[in-house]
């Protein structure tokens, strides 16, 4: 028994010594490696803070839309479309910017005044100067501001009346000056690889013409793939936007007030489900070689 007790005491002492030695060695490790340890702790804190911010920013960030409106009259039907679009988007929690081109007196005429110091002074190569001036921060302030609005938007909505099978001149000029070479497109950065890929666009426009004047076999032919292809594909699709099927208000000046109200209701409903609205087909770059010649399977 006595021997057993002595052995038990001895074990305890041995255990304590082992524990003391372990603590001592940990303390030694800490003293020797304390800088490394501090760095590790600070890295872990930074990473968890970054992860927290990323997760929560995604939740907190409200999606942004930009409405580009091109009608001179505040009481026009197109202005009513703009107002309904704004209302529908705000109801859905979007943060909405606006560019009311006539109200802003937007200058639609491109000119040498759009740039600061130019790379070629005696002949204006507009797209070249756009790229250089954007990189140098010397674009005219009105263009810079519109580019900022476009680039910070997830969704672009255009409201306009059709003029001569096209968009009003003020909107055409806005595109010419704002959709610049560089951030919007360049080289092979077009269509799915365009600068605005990942964003959506909706064109909502009014027409004097009746619905049966448009479409296959009709008087004026197709709207999306014919009359307004230059805008829907050649502009919006070209810079990479996912182009939602347009909202078309036919024959607007000649229909009843009730029919116009019904159109405005339809527009509002479409904007309420804008993420799920069908989009127009755009060329797929995978079917073309580096010079954009069709690949054999596509030819
Ligand atoms: C230069 C030019 C070229 C054109 N080229 C073409 C062309 O190529 N193809 C074509 O089809 N058309 C063409 N048009 C016609 C043009 O597209 C239409 O006149 C235009 O789309 C009508 O829209 P708006 O907003 O101007 O209508 P508005 O004239 O402003 O309004 C139409 C009616 O709606 C009413 N209204 C306004 N607000 C509301 C509301 N909230 N609820 C109910 N009613 C309301 C107004 O009082 C008015 O009676 C052209 C017109 C011009 C001037």
Each residue's pLDDT tens digit, 224-240? 999 999 999 999 999 99
- Residue where one domain finishes, among candidates 61, 84, 104: 61
- Euclidean distance between CA atoms 15 and 28, whole angstroms: 20
Number of structural domains the chain divides into: 2
The ligand 1 atom nearest the CA atom of 213: 11
Same domain, 54 and 73: no
Same domain, 29 and 86: no
pLDDT tens across 6-52, in order? 556 777 777 887 777 777 777 766 666 666 656 666 666 556 665 65
What is the distance in A from the centroid of ligand 1 to the CA of 70?
12
What is the distance in A from the centroid of ligand 1 to the CA of 255?
11
Same domain, 43 and 132: no
Same domain, 32 and 111: no
Q: Domain of 144?
A: 64-298
Same domain, 148 and 9: no
- Residue 158: the pLDDT is 99
Mean pLDDT for 242-246 is 98
- Residue 15: the pLDDT is 81
The residue nearest atom 8 of ligand 1, judged by CA position, is 164
The answer to whether the beta carbons of residues 194 and 243 sit under 8 Å apart is no
- Residue where one domain finishes, among candidates 41, 61, 81: 61
Same domain, 45 and 81: no
Same domain, 22 and 133: no
pLDDT tens across 270-297, in order? 999 999 999 999 999 999 999 999 998 7
Q: Is the shortest distance between the CB of 130 and ligand 1 below 6 Å?
A: no
Check whether 1 has a pLDDT greater than 50. Answer: no
- Choose which residue among 70, 172, 208, 228 to substitute to test ligand 1 binding: the one with the highest number of ligand atoms within 8 A of its C-beta: 208
Average per-residue pLDDT for the chain: 90
- Choose which residue among 163, 209, 249 to substitute to test ligand 1 binding: the one with the highest number of ligand atoms within 8 A of its C-beta: 163
Same domain, 81 and 18: no
Same domain, 51 and 81: no
Same domain, 38 and 143: no
- Residue 14: the pLDDT is 76
The ligand 1 atom nearest the CA atom of 80: 41
Check whether 187 has a pLDDT greater than 80. Answer: yes
What is the distance in A from the centroid of ligand 1 to the CA of 72?
11
What is the distance in A from the centroid of ligand 1 to the CA of 243?
23
- Residue where one domain finishes, among candidates 32, 61, 90: 61
- Choose which residue among 86, 159, 260, 264 to substitute to test ligand 1 binding: the one with the highest number of ligand atoms within 8 A of its C-beta: 260
Same domain, 223 and 165: yes
pTM above 0.85, yes or no: no
Same domain, 142 and 194: yes
Strands 155-161 and 200-206: parallel
What is the distance in A from the centroid of ligand 1 to the CA of 170?
16
CATH of residue 77: 3.40.50.360
pLDDT band at 2 (very low <50, low <70, confident <90, very high): very low
């Amino acid at each position: 028994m006595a021997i057993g007790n002595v052995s038990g005491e001895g074990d305890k002492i041995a255990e304590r010594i082992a524990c003391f030695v372990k603590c001592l060695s940990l303390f030694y490790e800490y003293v020797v490696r304390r800088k490394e340890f501090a760095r590790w702790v600070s890295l872990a804190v930074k990473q968890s803070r970054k992860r927290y911010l990323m997760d929560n920013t995604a939740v907190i960030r409200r999606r942004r839309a930009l409405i580009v409106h091109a009608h001179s009259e505040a009481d026009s039907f197109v202005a009513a479309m703009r107002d309904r679009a704004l209302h529908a988007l705000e109801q859905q929690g979007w943060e909405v910017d606006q560019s009311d081109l006539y109200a802003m007196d937007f200058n639609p005429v491109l000119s040498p005044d759009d740039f600061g110091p130019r790379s070629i002074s005696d002949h204006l190569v507009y797209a070249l100067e756009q790229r250089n001036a954007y990189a140098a921060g010397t674009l005219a302030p009105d263009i810079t501001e519109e580019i900022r609005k476009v680039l910070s938007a997830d969704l672009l909505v255009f409201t306009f009346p059709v003029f001569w099978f096209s968009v009003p001149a003020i909107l055409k000029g806005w595109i010419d000056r704002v959709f610049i070479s560089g951030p919007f497109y360049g080289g092979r950065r077009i269509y799915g690889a365009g600068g605005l890929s990942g964003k959506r666009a909706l064109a909502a426009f009014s027409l004097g013409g009746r619905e049966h004047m448009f479409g296959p076999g009709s008087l004026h032919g197709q709207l999306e793939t014919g009359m307004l292809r230059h805008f829907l594909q050649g502009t919006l699709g070209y810079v990479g936007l996912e182009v939602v099927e347009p909202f078309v208000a036919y024959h607007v000046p000649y229909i009843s007030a009730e029919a116009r109200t019904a159109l405005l209701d339809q527009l509002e409903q479409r904007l309420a489900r804008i993420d799920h609205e069908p989009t127009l087909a755009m060329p797929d770059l995978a079917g073309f070689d580096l010079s954009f010649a069709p690949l054999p399977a596509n030819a």
